[in-house]
């Protein structure tokens, strides 16, 4: 007679939780790590959850933080489940061996979504393959948009980042009971999740909580405070209220979300615009995270893996036909990219010389990608030779025009390419052997601190996945990035002169100001 496997029960600092066994793995969903961030807690730092008596059921995903849906043009590629409820600061755990004593490596996942969208409940982020391979996987929700990253005179900055820190502290204190080793925690995330990791690695309050980190398509950075303030002020103007946390806390959540979506409609990585972001606050973010990680002693002894997709920009430009619109704008779009990146005409001329077959949209897209992402990640690896590993994901989606776009690697890293939500971006026929290889590298990094290829040094080794057999390329982006080293950028805070077009003719200010309007951006997609 076959024994019936009972549901797993684990004790946490706030009470016991009952999970489920699924395919031999114990899964706990929707565990609160902080109190609901509403009522008197709205726009405030997270507080511990109220303890509970008895055993709390942890069989389903918990509520997701308030967020607007993706616009129709992006929803065809990206899924974002919405679970109603106030108790949205929750996390999930997948473990092969619940109970103390196993001391398995732990991976904590921070989702992307431009700090305005996303959740831990995405099927692409299923932790079962990691637990199957001997890793305790944790994923979590955190406050988004104006609730998590609005900048107000009467409330602390970065409450969403503070949520992530609270979750990380919960994991460090509680994960041993789930079979994890609190001394072997790897923090990994993509896009806005990776940007968050950069800030957490540099945060004084997070020192000692993380052993390793993976930054996928997102560099350490701090947003300009005025850029975030403009986003809040524009929302306040539409709502006809003061730009204060007290006033925003009285606004209905749905109205706030609609207003946020309307105000953020013209924001994108390519053309900029007001957007939410992590800001220097003198506390949890005492200085720019990239500066702290490259010229200070922040996060000393932490192994790093960083990387990008070959065609990041295509997820920003293909939905809604932006690729074709930028190609039609031609020189004006190039001038807009120069203003966005604060460089002169030598940089786009250099890209043209290196890629004579490329269209304007590809030149603009790769320029902005290098400026926002590859340059800072190179700088981060340069500051930590011997303990940094760099990759490039190059497999192209089978869907038209997407190429190796932003977020495409996620189904491969999680080994969840078979779920419909992965196929929305990858199309049909994603190679399982590539997923096996990438997933194995991430697991090995969590276990050993070495994903299986040469660490960063002066030869700039980059592991290339998906462009034929997996290989190590040396300096594959060096020629493009050298163009930036030779350029004379305008320092932040100073006014950039109106750039000349790559053909030498001057631009008119009205041309640059009209680029955003002429693109007719369909929705917010700052970063996935």
Q: What is the pLDDT of residues 83-108, one digit of tens each?
A: 999 999 999 999 999 999 999 999 99
Tell me the CA distances in angstroms from 207 to 215, 222, 327, one per residue in order.
17, 19, 46
Q: Quick check: is 312 catalytic?
A: yes
424-439 average pLDDT score: 97
Cα distance between residue 419 and residue 494, in whole Å: 48
Q: Indicate whether 253 belongs to any domain.
A: yes
Q: Indicate whether 5 belongs to any domain.
A: no
Q: Indicate whether 528 belongs to any domain.
A: no
Q: Quick check: is 22 catalytic?
A: no
Q: How far is CA 157 from the centre of its chain?
A: 19
Tell me the CA distances in angstroms from 359 to 8, 142, 325, 506, one per residue in order.
56, 39, 12, 21
Residue 500 is predicted with a pLDDT of 47
**Order of strands, edge to edge, in the sheet holding 15-18?**
9-12, 15-18, 55-57
Q: Are 262 and 238 in contact (CB under 8 A)?
A: yes
Q: Indicate whether 84 belongs to any domain.
A: yes
Q: What average pLDDT does the structure give for the chain?
A: 92
420-448 average pLDDT score: 98
CATH code assigned at 514: 3.40.50.1820
**What is the band of 73 on the pLDDT scale with cuts at 50, 70, 90?**
very high
**What is the band of 494 on the pLDDT scale with cuts at 50, 70, 90?**
low
Give the structural domain span for 499. 15-519
Q: Indicate whether 526 belongs to any domain.
A: no
**DSSP secondary structure of 145-184:** HHHHH---TTS-S-HHHHHHHHHHHHHHHHGGGGTEEEEE
Name the residue among 438, 411, 511 with its Cα closest to residue 126.
411
Residue with tokens 């079979």: 179
Confidence check: pLDDT of 357 > 60: yes
Residue 266 is predicted with a pLDDT of 67
101 C-beta neighbours (distance < 10 Å), count = 7
Catalytic residue, from 97, 221, 312, 511: name it: 312
Residue 103 is predicted with a pLDDT of 96
Q: Indicate whether 137 belongs to any domain.
A: yes
Q: Indicate whether 144 belongs to any domain.
A: yes
Confidence check: pLDDT of 482 > 70: yes
Q: Which tens digits make up the pLDDT trace of 125-182?
A: 999 999 999 999 999 999 999 999 999 999 999 999 999 999 999 999 999 999 999 9
Residue 81 is predicted with a pLDDT of 95
Q: Are 509 and 60 in contact (CB under 8 A)?
A: no
Q: Name which residue leads in pLDDT, 503 or 438.
A: 438
Catalytic residue, from 406, 421, 422, 439: name it: 406
Residue 508 is predicted with a pLDDT of 44
Q: Are 478 and 378 in contact (CB under 8 A)?
A: no
Catalytic residue, from 174, 191, 196, 397: name it: 191
Q: Indicate whether 441 belongs to any domain.
A: yes
Q: Name which residue leads in pLDDT, 1 or 354.
A: 354
The number of domains in the chain is 1
């Amino acid at each position: 007679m076959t024994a019936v496997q009972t549901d797993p029960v684990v004790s946490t600092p706030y009470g016991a939780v009952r999970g489920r066994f699924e395919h031999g793995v114990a899964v706990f969903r929707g565990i609160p790590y902080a109190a609901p961030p509403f009522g008197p807690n709205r726009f405030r730092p997270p507080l511990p959850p109220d303890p509970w008596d008895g055993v709390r059921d942890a069989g389903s995903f918990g509520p997701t933080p308030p967020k607007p849906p993706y616009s129709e043009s992006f929803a065809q590629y990206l899924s974002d489940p919405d679970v109603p409820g106030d108790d949205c600061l929750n996390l999930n755990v997948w473990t092969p061996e619940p109970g103390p004593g196993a001391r398995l490596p732990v991976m904590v996942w921070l989702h992307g979504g431009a700090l305005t969208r996303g959740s831990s409940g995405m099927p692409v982020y299923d932790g079962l393959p990691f637990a199957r391979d001997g890793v305790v996987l944790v994923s979590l929700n955190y406050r988004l948009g104006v609730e998590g990253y609005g900048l107000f005179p009467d409330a602390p900055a970065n409450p969403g980042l503070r949520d992530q820190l609270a979750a990380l502290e919960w994991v460090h204190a509680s994960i041993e009971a789930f079979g994890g080793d609190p001394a072997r925690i790897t923090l990994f995330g993509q896009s806005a999740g990776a940007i968050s990791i950069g800030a957490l690695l540099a945060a004084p309050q997070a020192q000692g909580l993380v052993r390793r980190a993976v930054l996928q398509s997102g560099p350490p950075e701090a947003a300009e405070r005025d850029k975030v303030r403009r986003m809040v002020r524009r929302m306040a103007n539409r709502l006809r209220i003061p730009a204060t946390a007290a006033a925003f806390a009285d606004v209905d959540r749905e109205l706030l979300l609609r207003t946020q979506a309307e105000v953020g409609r013209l924001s994108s990585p390519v053309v900029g615009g007001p957007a939410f972001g992590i800001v220097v606050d003198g506390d949890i973010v005492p200085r720019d995270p990239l500066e702290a990680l490259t010229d200070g002693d922040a996060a000393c002894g932490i192994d790093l893996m960083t990387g990008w997709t070959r065609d990041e920009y295509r997820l920003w430009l293909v939905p809604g036909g932006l690729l074709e619109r930028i190609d039609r704008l031609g020189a004006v779009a190039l001038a807009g990219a120069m203003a966005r990146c604060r460089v002169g005409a030598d940089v786009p001329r250099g890209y043209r010389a290196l890629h004579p077959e490329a269209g304007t949209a590809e030149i603009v897209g790769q320029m902005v990608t290098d400026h926002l992402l590859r340059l800072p990640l190179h700088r981060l690896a340069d500051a930590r030779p011997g303990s940094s590993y760099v990759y490039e994901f190059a497999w192209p989606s089978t869907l038209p025009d997407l190429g190796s776009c932003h977020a495409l690697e996620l189904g491969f890293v999680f080994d969840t390419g078979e779920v419909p939500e992965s196929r929305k971006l990858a199309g049909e026929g994603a190679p399982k052997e590539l997923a096996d290889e990438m997933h194995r590298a991430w697991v090995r990094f969590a276990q050993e601190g070495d994903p299986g290829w040469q660490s960063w040094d002066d030869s700039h080794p980059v592991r290339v996945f998906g462009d034929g057999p997996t290989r190590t390329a040396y300096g594959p982006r060096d020629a493009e990035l050298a163009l930036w080293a030779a350029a004379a950028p305008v320092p932040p805070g100073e006014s950039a002169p109106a750039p000349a077009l790559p053909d030498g003719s001057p631009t008119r200010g009205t041309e640059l100001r009209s680029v955003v309007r002429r693109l007719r951006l369909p929705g917010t997609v700052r970063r996935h």
